[in-house]
Structure 1
Amino acid sequence: MAERQLEQAGNFGVRPALNAFDSGIEKARNLRAWAFLNRYGALILFFALWQVASSRGWLNPAVIPPVDAVVRALFVALVNGTLLGDLLISLQRAGIAFAAAVVVSIPLGLVMGTFTRLENAIDPILQMFRQTSALAVYPIFILLMGLGETSKVFVIFWATVFPLLMNTMSGVKQVDRRLIEMARMFGASKLQIFRRVTLPGAIPSIFVGLRLSAGMALLMLVASEMIGANQGLGFKVMQAQYNFQIPLMFGAIVLLAGLGLLSNYSLIFLQRRICKWVDARDIG
């Protein structure tokens, strides 16, 4: 009886509908797999070629060890705590400097982007400081603040503050003036225009600055930890190189690259959550 009812249901189109549904699920899975390969295929291929070239001797494994040896050294160093302390102190240095850059750059960039006279007054000295390499002024910071944490945090702050500041100013200037004029016509106050028009219009550019500054923070972190430091991932890279612990050296480098990717994609995720009005394809 049940089989007859199932057969009758199939005759009325239930079975074709189920088949079409299963086919749609399979196509969706294939599309997701293709999207994953399209985005990360080059990265996977890079690590695969690295592994093959080193393990087969095409590259000197003593200088460029295979990926599995690097992963093993990184795992052991994290588990036994050899690298964990360095990771935490590096995150602390970069985090403090990046947070300070956010606190300074975004408000200042919003004000300078809004008030042209203030921008004209500050821009010459700002451009001079921006064009001065953080590594060039690092010896000055060491003379003034010593080789401790303060000079390291400050040089990272110096490198991160300008990309965020310039992108914040650029975002304010790129806001459509017609939207501002329209808001004024409807009786909006200056504060309302700032909250409802200027700030939302500048946020995408601010996030670009955040991503650039986060990357600069990690780059300058490594440089600062290679000079007069006794802890940190940059110090660990140099120490492993001196002791010829090459897999550990590459492991620390890969960990730094992973931190950079994590910060970048975290900011992309946050931007997509906040900037609902921006096309996701324009974010990254």
Structure 2
Amino acid sequence: MARDGELWRHLQASLVRSAAGFGIAVSLAIPLGAAIAWYRPAREILTPPLEVFRNTAALALLPAFTLILGIGETSKIAIVTYACFFPILLSTITGVATVDPQLLRSARVLGLSPVTTFRKVVFPAAVPTIFTGIRISGAAAILVLIAAELIGATAGLGFLINYTQFNFLIPQMYAAILTTSALGLAVNYGLVGLERRFSRWRV
């Protein structure tokens, strides 16, 4: 399957979908989470409804996404975005809201403006916590997409697993499963490396 290109075709389809949903979630969740955490009234108002959505499993909403957005690419990217959004959002809120007060006092003593304090002190200190949510979302992007591809897809690792199972192509089925595991492992190690790059200030 690797030699004839079939495996890479399905892997590419899954990678494009998961990367698109994950990228959208990161670009939305981090700025929104930082804004909510930086303004305490917003955090107190918005945290309860966010917890409700966070505890609603993405796969439970898959039929609704499919019904509203169809069985094409849009619904699959949307369900990945939903699954990835809340772990990143809540970890960003936690990371920004729990920065060491001593760091904030030091920034005030040095005369830093609020914007500079956030950029130079708060956000770097929150990066390890934010990446906890990002790594959780990286795994969710793969798992949720595989489940979504079992329904109404013509390409992707989830489709390949489902297709080979129903046609009793057992070696091909295990090849797809092992490829999915390897993909998840690669995503995790890639995010760990990215976290180390952004957290070089840590001992």
Q: TM-score, normalised by structure 1?
A: 0.70
Structure 1 runs (4+) deviating above 2 angstroms are: none
Partners of 1:247 and 1:182 lie apart in 2 by 61
Partners of 2:46 and 2:2 lie apart in 1 by 46
The aligned counterpart of 1:136 is: 60
Selected match of 1:158 from 79, 82, 85: 82
**What secondary structure is seen at the aligned counterpart in 2 of 1:132?**
coil
Coordinate RMSD, CA, aligned: 1.1
**What are the superposed Cα offsets for residues 81-107 of structure 1, whole Å, 9 maximum, x if unpaired?**
222211111101000000000011110
- Where in structure 2 are there 5+ consecutive unaligned residues? none
**What secondary structure is seen at the aligned counterpart in 1 of 2:41?**
helix
Please show how residues 187-226 of structure 1 align to structure 2 within 5 Å.
187-226=111-150
**What are the superposed Cα offsets for residues 149-192 of structure 1, whole Å, 9 maximum, x if unpaired?**
11111111111111111111111122101110121122110011
Code of the residue aligned with 2:164 in structure 1: it is A
Partners of 2:129 and 2:16 lie apart in 1 by 26
Q: CA deviation at 1:257?
A: 0.8
Code of the residue aligned with 2:119 in structure 1: it is R
Code of the residue aligned with 1:266 in structure 2: it is G
Q: Does 1:244 align with 2:168?
A: yes
Please show how residues 273-284 of structure 1 align to structure 2 within 5 Å.
273-279=197-203
**What are the superposed Cα offsets for residues 75-134 of structure 1, whole Å, 9 maximum, x if unpaired?**
xx1210222211111101000000000011110111111111111222222111111111
Q: CA deviation at 1:236?
A: 0.1
The aligned counterpart of 2:100 is: 176
Partners of 1:90 and 1:209 lie apart in 2 by 21
Q: CA deviation at 1:273?
A: 2.2
The aligned counterpart of 2:153 is: 229
Please show how residues 64-143 of structure 1 align to structure 2 within 5 Å.
77-143=1-67
Partners of 2:57 and 2:7 lie apart in 1 by 29
- Where in structure 1 are there 5+ consecutive unaligned residues? 1-76, 280-284
Partners of 2:48 and 2:132 lie apart in 1 by 23
Partners of 1:131 and 1:179 lie apart in 2 by 33
Code of the residue aligned with 1:120 in structure 2: it is E
Code of the residue aligned with 2:30 in structure 1: it is I
**What secondary structure is seen at the aligned counterpart in 2 of 1:79?**
coil
Q: Which has the larger radius of gyration?
A: 1
**What are the superposed Cα offsets for residues 11-40 of structure 1, whole Å, 9 maximum, x if unpaired?**
xxxxxxxxxxxxxxxxxxxxxxxxxxxxxx
**What are the superposed Cα offsets for residues 209-263 of structure 1, whole Å, 9 maximum, x if unpaired?**
1111000000001000001111110000011111111111111111111111111
Partners of 1:240 and 1:248 lie apart in 2 by 6
The aligned counterpart of 1:35 is: none
Code of the residue aligned with 1:99 in structure 2: it is G
Q: TM-score, normalised by structure 2?
A: 0.96
Partners of 1:136 and 1:273 lie apart in 2 by 36
